[in-house]
Amino acid sequence: MSRKLFLLLVVIFLSNCSFSQGHEFYNEKIDSVWTKVADGFDFPEGPARSSSGDIYVSNCYGKWITKLTPESAEVFLSASEKPFTFAQTNGLAFNDEGFLFACDYSLGAIIKIDLNGNSEIYSSGYEGVKFNRPNDLAFDKKGNLFFTDPKNYHKDSLTGRVFMVEKNSGQTKLVYDGLAFPNGITFSNSGEDLFVCESAKQRILKFKVEAGGKLSDSKVFVELPGGDPDGIDFDSEGNLYAAHFGGGAVYKISPTGEVLQKISTPGKKPSNVEFGGDDLKTLFITECETNSVYSMRVDIPGAKK
């Protein structure tokens, strides 16, 4: 057998193993910090935890969403399964009613999905025009959906926007604009403040949320040069964890904006973070250089989020 044929057979075998056989959680220690949860993704993004504790992951360059259970990794939904599901998704988030919401940057829309895989368009655009490139999303305590909508990536191109879809009316509102590629988005644990990564300026912004969803009192919360602040999530103590895409790290940032820790990641392109596990002390990351999902235990005292 030739060397080229042998290598090809090995690649085919490994690619088939990635999802047909599944991956158990905690199956491969990368170092003393990270554990590989699963691989075989296609630019993974948007990890979201369901009420049952499963983690759902987008494949930005593919057309499927992966479901990670404690036993396996499996395709939850594929765009080819039905006449309409979605095109290409990025950020994901669950609401309190158990529906999965996805930013579909190919369709320029927000998609609502039930756990049986049925989907519909939740918001198709603003003032009759589809969104530019919906990226990431978060719910406030009232169930209103906020999401980022970047366009051009350049620090001087202030074309990015933040929208809100009001839960009761279903109305889509523009709540902020003039941003340089807004990316990850999350609420503080109190729900009073909204945090948005302005990736092209390598910083994270903090906003007050006014009545009706308008954002005000914009402040630079922290600057993270050397890469793009991407997905973000809070721990129970109010520390913000930020994936640093291109910087090969996850940053732990105090409630006052002080960098407490830089945690190197297995690849240089961590894209997003999500706390999970029964006690919400396991940090999951999506990583796009290795096309894998990893986890690490985080020592967080106190109660759940």
CATH number at residue 238: 2.120.10.30
- Per the structure, the complete domain to which residue 247 belongs is given by 24-297
Chain segment 53-62, per-residue pLDDT in tens: 999 999 999 8
Which of the residue ranges 21-30, 70-79, 163-172, 244-253 would you say has the lowest mean pLDDT?
A: 21-30
pLDDT for 79: 82
Average pLDDT on 119-144 reads 97
Q: Specify the amino acid at residue 240.
A: L
pLDDT for 56: 98
Which of the residue ranges 8-12, 64-68, 88-92, 248-252 would you say has the lowest mean pLDDT?
A: 8-12
Q: Specify the amino acid at residue 241.
A: Y
Q: Residue 25 CB: number of other CB atoms within 10 A?
A: 21
Evaluated on CA atoms 146, 152, 154, 159, the torsion sign reads: negative
User: Is the pLDDT at 227 greater than 60, yes or no?
Assistant: yes
Structural domain contains residue 14? no
Average pLDDT on 17-36 reads 49
64 pLDDT band, cuts 50/70/90, is very high
Rounded Cα distance between 28 and 13, Å, is 18
Rounded Cα distance between 56 and 224, Å, is 27
Q: What's the Cα-to-Cα distance from 162 to each of 13, 150, 261, rounded to whole Å?
A: 43, 8, 29
71 pLDDT band, cuts 50/70/90, is confident
User: Is the pLDDT at 9 greater than 60, yes or no?
Assistant: no
Place of tokens 């047909």: 20
Structural domain contains residue 1? no
Q: How many domains does the chain have?
A: 1
Structural domain contains residue 179? yes
19 pLDDT band, cuts 50/70/90, is very low
278 pLDDT band, cuts 50/70/90, is confident
Structural domain contains residue 5? no
Token couple for 8 = 């090809």
Q: Is the pTM of this model over 0.85?
A: yes
Write down the mean pLDDT value for the chain: 88
pLDDT for 173: 97
Structural domain contains residue 4? no
